[in-house]
Amino acid sequence: MKPKKKVGIYVHVPFCQAKCHYCDFVSYAGYSSEDKEAYLAALFREGELYRQRYRGTRASGKAVANADANANANAVANGGGIAAGNGGNNDGGHGAEQGLSGQTLYLGGGTPTSLTGKQLFLLISRLRELFQLPEDAEITVEANPGTIEREKLACLKEAGCSRLSLGVQSFSEQELRALGRIHTAQEVVESFTLARQMGIANISLDLMYGLPGQSLSSFRESLRQAVELHPEHLSVYQLKIEEGTPFASLVEKGLLREFDQDAAYVMYREAIEYLQAQGYRHYEISNFALPGKEAGHNQIYWRNEEYLGLGAGAAGFLEGVRYKNTSSVEDYIAQLVQGKLPLAEEENIDQALSMAETMFLGLRLRAGVNKEGFRRRYGMSIEEKYGPAIEKLLQQGLLEDKGTHLALSDKGLFVANLVMQEFL
């Protein structure tokens, strides 16, 4: 037997109370509790199919043909769950994988906390069992401050949730309304305080800059109020106007002007300087953490490691193949009722593309790309593969050679996309 394949596990919960004006994620409002129950049953089936697949079955993703596929599909069709203990006992011979083992679990969306407390408990508990997550695994749940309740937090805590990621975005009521958020600044404080009272010891806050009507002073105030809560982690993102969103429509009609990029750079620099002064380590382009509180799950992405994506619209990367599930909740459920993985896209990642992705994902980390790790993974050094590009960027002061790692310089941080294009 080969050892268990250790992966991060991402689960997409595509439900929300209302779609924000900037959101282009796979998320939908208006689904009933019964719809969500059917979705969870399908999600458990998808997890079971992957568990079976990596216990010896090597069928293609779109036609996983395990002996009990139809029986379990019927359970999904009838709204039932999938038994986590017994499915897929085919070991597939001496070369078979023992199975998938989860390193981390991340519930994103959408708004995972749009589910009931009982649904959240069942979701986390079932996946922990299916993929044998260790007791101390990092389990993160994204939450909208407007959907946090004591009962949900109690269920999350009991299920093993160790980290809460609150989508704050701003502490300005005017900016929150402009974004279409359903919560208030006061609800952020109340949700954070309640989470602490319920024993959630690791909390991350998301903030955004470059918002309609946002000033440098209002952004500074959001930073100040965020730090005043003493979160372990902060993510700070620039608003991007994405095609198909209400904001994009307003821009096209001339009713909304895109934020000045120079002003956005000033805000970004302000975030870096202020948060570092408050004891937060700037460990990734958009992320800051107290020492030892860096997001473990996201580092799997930035190190270009394997992860399993479950749910409508979820993406995954396994055995050199990147895949994306159908974004339609109805199609997602229907495919799994038939015992099929709900794949919409699959792409084989060859070594050249993998090396490029390892570079531009790894450069997001302030520590940079590990040179020895790159050599062991690909059989050649970074310099052998990208020598001219690296030399050019070093001379321009955009990269820094740290000996063991190659990283963005402070100057390169502000033109990161241009630097990363050199490796494509």
CA dihedral 345, 348, 349, 350 (to 10 degrees): -160
User: In a 3-state reduction of DSSP, which class is residue 317?
Assistant: strand
Q: Is the pTM above the cut of 0.85?
A: yes
Contact 332, 326 (CB under 8 A): yes
What pLDDT shows up at residue 2? 62
Phi-psi region of 265 (alpha: psi -120 to 50; beta: other; left: phi over 0): alpha
Query: Residue 117: how many CB atoms within 10 A of its CB?
Result: 18
Ordered domains of the chain (ranges, CATH): 5-302 (3.30.750.200), 351-421 (1.10.10)
Contact 247, 256 (CB under 8 A): yes
pLDDT digits (tens, 9 = 90+) for 121-157: 999 999 999 999 999 999 999 999 988 999 999 999 9
Residue labelled with tokens 């965020």: 226
Q: Which two tokens stand for residue 229?
A: 């809560």
In order, the DSSP letters of 84-108 are: TTTS-----STTSB--EEEEEEEEE
Decide which of 27 and 78 is more confident: 27
User: In a 3-state reduction of DSSP, which class is residue 188?
Assistant: helix
User: In a 3-state reduction of DSSP, which class is residue 146?
Assistant: helix
What pLDDT shows up at residue 73? 37
Residue 209, strand partner residues: 238
Query: Strands 315-318, 321-325: parallel, antiparallel or unpaired by DSSP?
Result: antiparallel
Percent above pLDDT 70 for the chain:
89
The angle at the Cα of 309, spanning 53 to 281, to the nearest 5 degrees, equals 135
3-state helix, strand, coil in the chain (%, to 5): 40, 20, 40
pLDDT digits (tens, 9 = 90+) for 33-91: 999 999 999 999 999 999 999 875 333 344 333 333 333 434 433 434 333 333 333 33
Contact 204, 237 (CB under 8 A): no
User: In a 3-state reduction of DSSP, which class is residue 303?
Assistant: coil
In order, the DSSP letters of 52-81 are: HHTTT----GGG---TTHHHHHHHHHTT--
Question: Which of 304, 330, 327, 298 shows the shortest CA–CA distance to 317?
Answer: 304
Q: Which two tokens stand for residue 71?
A: 């029986």
Decide which of 359 and 257 is more confident: 359
For 82, the enclosing helix (H) or strand (E) is none
Dihedral sign, CA of 388, 392, 394, 398? Answer: negative
Terminal alpha carbon distance of the chain = 37
What pLDDT shows up at residue 258? 86
Contact 9, 105 (CB under 8 A): yes
What pLDDT shows up at residue 88? 33
Encode 25-47: b = buried (16+ Cβ within 10 Å), e = exposed: bbbbeeeeeeebbbbbbbbbbbb
CA dihedral 208, 312, 180, 105 (to 10 degrees): -40
Residue 317, strand partner residues: 307, 322
Q: Could you tell me the CA-to-CA distances from 55 to 101, 180, 228, 340, 341 in Å, in that order?
A: 11, 45, 48, 17, 16
pLDDT digits (tens, 9 = 90+) for 372-388: 999 999 999 999 999 99
pLDDT digits (tens, 9 = 90+) for 147-188: 899 999 999 999 999 999 999 999 999 998 888 888 899 999
Omega before residue 88 within 30° of 0, cis? no
* Mean pLDDT on 11-28: 85
